[in-house]
Amino acid sequence: MSQQAHFLSIEQLSASDSFILFYSSQILVRDQHILWNLDQLSKHLTDSADLILLERTDESSVIAVSLEEDISEHLQAELNSLRSILFFTDQEKFLLAGRASQLIEWYKSHRFCGTCGTETTHHRNERTLVCDACLLHFFPRISPCVIMLITKGDQMLLAKSARFNANFYSCLAGFIEIGETPEQTVHREVMEEVNVKVKNIRYISSQSWPFPSQLMLGFLAEYESGEIIPEPTEIADAKWYDIDSLPNVPSEKISVAGKLIRTFIDEVKKTQTD
């Protein structure tokens, strides 16, 4: 693939292309739609706009645009947080917008080499930025995380975050540290966050999660011992819940946390009917 396949110029755009627009880390939305066409944008795109290819077919491309100016008023659009579109767009478009956001932030933060300060250039064959002085390559990075649902009999441990003004309960989660396996992180994070030991850790599913640039690895784990003691800077509240009396929890349609909860509920109900 050529350099232009990843970083485009205005001359390479076509009428069949679709665009996802970001300004100051927020996405432009109109009537709950996040995709724009070239006719809507042609008067507002400048040579200084960053145009990053997300995906391409024989007929068209989807392109992420990092705008230098706020054109939301001209487009009769609103600036929304990426997280807010979870509630009105489908999963495919959300993942596309998440990928766009991550690539834009990567590109912005690697314009210059972190070692010598030389301006980076686009690699001709890969999605990477290169320092021609140091010969360093800067690839888009992701942060691996674990997210785990702790179960005890027919109950599950759900927690409310102390970091966000959340009105729901969810699974525990944490970043994988250098030198750890995901399973070791599950053990450590559960102990640190709620003072509980777990066993029989079982991988279920994964999810790209662009807040800011994470890969979530989802697990079920069984309770072994300990009394719940929330770590106050991380967890506002944590309790055991029966599957028939759950608090407000994430939807399985938009998050791996919801999928973990649904998987456990289905397994319990299957056991009860067997």
Q: How do residues 14-31 score in pLDDT, each as one tens digit?
A: 899 999 999 999 999 999
Is 136 inside any structural domain? no
Q: How many domains does the chain have?
A: 2
Q: Cis peptide leading into 250, omega within 30 of 0?
A: no
Instruction: Give residue for tokens 């001209």.
Output: 74
Convert the pLDDT of each residue in 250-270 to its tens digit: 988 888 999 999 999 999 998
Of residues 102 and 47, which shows the higher confidence score?
102
Range of the domain at 170: 143-273
Asked if residue 168 belongs to a domain, the reply is: yes
What's the CA gap between 183 and 202, in Å, rounded?
A: 9
7 against 47, higher pLDDT: 7
Residue 242 forms part of a structural domain? yes
What is the rounded CA–CA span in Å between residue 194 and residue 93? 35
Say what the pLDDT of residue 57 is.
81
* Dihedral Cα 69, 73, 77, 79, nearest 10 deg: 50
| Residue located via tokens 């396996």 | 181
Question: Do the domain assignments include residue 131?
Answer: no
The pLDDT of residue 166 is 72
- Over residues 48-56, the mean pLDDT reads 85
pLDDT tens digits, one per residue of 129-142: 999 999 999 999 99
Least confident of 33-47, 72-86, 126-140: 33-47
Residue 108 to residues 27, 119, 132, 252: CA-CA distances in angstroms? 16, 12, 18, 32
Which of 109, 131, 162 marks a domain boundary?
109
- Kindly list the distances between the CA atom of residue 170 and the CA atoms of 82, 146, 155, 157, in Å, as whole numbers in the listed order: 20, 13, 14, 9
- Per-residue confidence band for 3, with pLDDT thresholds at 50, 70 and 90: very low
pLDDT class of 126 with cuts at 50, 70, 90: confident
Task: Write phi, then psi, for 270 (nearest 5 degrees).
Answer: -65, -40
**CATH code at 165?**
3.90.79.10
Cα 17 from Cα 55, distance rounded (Å) = 10
| pLDDT tens for each residue of 183-228 | 999 999 999 999 999 999 999 999 998 988 899 999 999 999 999 9
Say if 118 falls within a structural domain: no
Q: Which helix (H) or strand (E) holds 69?
A: none
Note whether residue 116 is domain-resident.
no
Residue 18 maps to which CATH number?
3.90.79.20
The predicted pLDDT at position 12 comes to: 84
pTM: 0.84
Indicate if 225 and 104 belong to the same structural domain.
no
Position 5 scores a pLDDT of 56
What is the per-residue pLDDT for 6? 82
Same domain, 105 and 149: no
**Residue 126 within any structural domain of the chain:** no
pLDDT tier at 1, thresholds 50, 70, 90:
very low
Q: Give the whole-angstrom CA distance, residue 81 versus residue 29.
A: 10
